[in-house]
Amino acid sequence: MDAEALLRALAGGAPDDAARAGVTQAAVDRHRATLDAWGLAVTAAPGAGFRLAAPLELLDARALRAALPRDAAPRVAAIDVLVETDSTNRMLLERAPPAPGMLDVCIAEYQHAGRGRRGRAWRAPLGACLCLSAAWRFDKTPAELPALALAAGVAVRRAVARAAEVDVDLKWPNDLVFDGRKLGGILLEVGASAIGGCHVVAGVGLNVAVPEHLLASVCDWPRGAVDLTAACGERTPSRTALAAALIAELARLFAAYATRGFAPYRAEWEAADCLRGRDVAVHEASGTLAGAALGVDADGALLLATARGERRRVLAGDVSVRAVP
């Protein structure tokens, strides 16, 4: 029994089921290092067998495809669910782009080298988060490509509302926020396409059921991070329903974006903007710029009113809310 087979045997949660699948003390001991790396604890039930210390809903490609709504399902060419990889974004960027009008999806139960903005490391315990990337090829590079990451934020927000009944705030340029705490993020990357246009990969990371002691390591925000289990009042939403809703929303977004651009998403993005009207500091490569956030421009740039009365457009940078003296 290899580590993946052991994982799937234990994921059912019932010691009797694990015993029937051939889970023995020797199998657990043989893969103990891998289970530890994945952040999974195994307990022994006297006289019954073994089980995971915490429930685990593993994702399945067939179940995800069956859960897709009718309008989105025909646009999804491939759904790959991996137990472990370094980065789902990298996996899709290194593949040939999907056919025009089709979406390729890669999901990992565990990422050991996931990346956030500016190359920051992002690691999620196995099954505790949703680590999903979706690839699309535009025949012609959209004029509003810089705003696509913001539109993707709206797509994720819609998926979370549908699958978990949670209203998510958005923080420019790519953070998902609940109650002032970080719930997840989006990493949009663009690769070259040998056949013209551009190859876009949108990576989404969402905290679903992260152990409390690990949330502190997820981000360095003043109020820290949060997961959907806490946002739902300690009820863990279905990761299958969440992933299916997210795939559907991204398929709809990419299919319409070439012709419609950011405009259909801008009002919803601004309604969820957690920075609008607040004093912020934008940390750029050239230094720090302070001012009041005024929302976003039609191309997704952050609008800033400085203390000198200037109106500035910020295209890239990290934003933090300024502390009140």
User: Does a cis peptide bond (omega within 30 degrees of 0) precede residue 173?
Assistant: yes
- In a shared domain, residues 214 and 295: no
Q: Is 117 a catalytic residue?
A: yes
Average pLDDT over residues 131-147: 93
- In a shared domain, residues 250 and 186: yes
Cα gap 262→243, rounded to integer Å: 23
Largest CA distance in the chain: 73
- In a shared domain, residues 78 and 46: no
Chain segment 283-313, per-residue pLDDT in tens: 877 778 899 999 999 999 999 998 888 899 9
- In a shared domain, residues 138 and 92: yes
267's enclosing H/E stretch is: helix 263-271
> 169-171 and 181-191: which strand pairing?
unpaired
Q: Domain total for the chain?
A: 3
Q: Out of 2-16, 136-150, 271-285, pick the least confident.
A: 2-16
- In a shared domain, residues 247 and 295: no
Q: Which long-range contacts (CB under 8 A, 24 or more apart) does 144-147 make?
A: 144/257, 144/261, 144/262, 144/298, 144/299, 144/300, 145/190, 145/198, 145/200, 146/299, 146/300, 146/301, 146/315, 147/261, 147/262, 147/296, 147/298, 147/299, 147/300
Question: Angle of helix 263-271 relative to helix 148-164, nearest 10 degrees?
Answer: 60
In the sheet with 302-305, reading across from the earlier edge strand, the strands are 311-314, 302-305, 287-296, 279-284, 318-321
Question: CATH number for the domain including 245?
Answer: 3.30.930.10
- In a shared domain, residues 105 and 226: yes
pLDDT the model gives residue 284: 77
The amino acid occupying position 264 is: P
pLDDT the model gives residue 123: 62
**The domain containing residue 286 runs over which residues?**
279-321
Q: Out of 10-14, 167-171, 313-317, pick the least confident.
A: 10-14
Find the length of the chain. 325
pLDDT the model gives residue 268: 96
Q: Is the pLDDT of residue 320 over 80?
A: yes
Are the beta carbons of 104 and 64 closer than 8 angstroms?
no
Q: Is 239 a catalytic residue?
A: no
Cα gap 45→50, rounded to integer Å: 6
Question: CATH number for the domain including 285?
Answer: 2.30.30.100
- In a shared domain, residues 195 and 223: yes
- In a shared domain, residues 39 and 110: no
pLDDT the model gives residue 101: 92
Tokens of 297: 């421009």
- In a shared domain, residues 230 and 310: no
Q: Is the pLDDT of residue 280 over 70?
A: yes
Of 271, 288, 312, which marks where a domain is finished?
271
Between 325 and 28, name the one with better pLDDT.
Answer: 28
- In a shared domain, residues 218 and 307: no
Q: Is the pLDDT of residue 324 over 70?
A: no
Average pLDDT over residues 58-73: 96
Average pLDDT over residues 46-57: 79
- In a shared domain, residues 141 and 225: yes
Q: Is 140 a catalytic residue?
A: no
- In a shared domain, residues 248 and 310: no
Which residue among 118, 311, 313, 322 is the active-site one?
322
Q: Tell me the whole-structure pTM to 2 decimals.
A: 0.90
Which residue among 117, 162, 260, 312 is the active-site one?
117
pLDDT the model gives residue 51: 82
Of 52, 75, 92, which marks where a domain is finished?
52
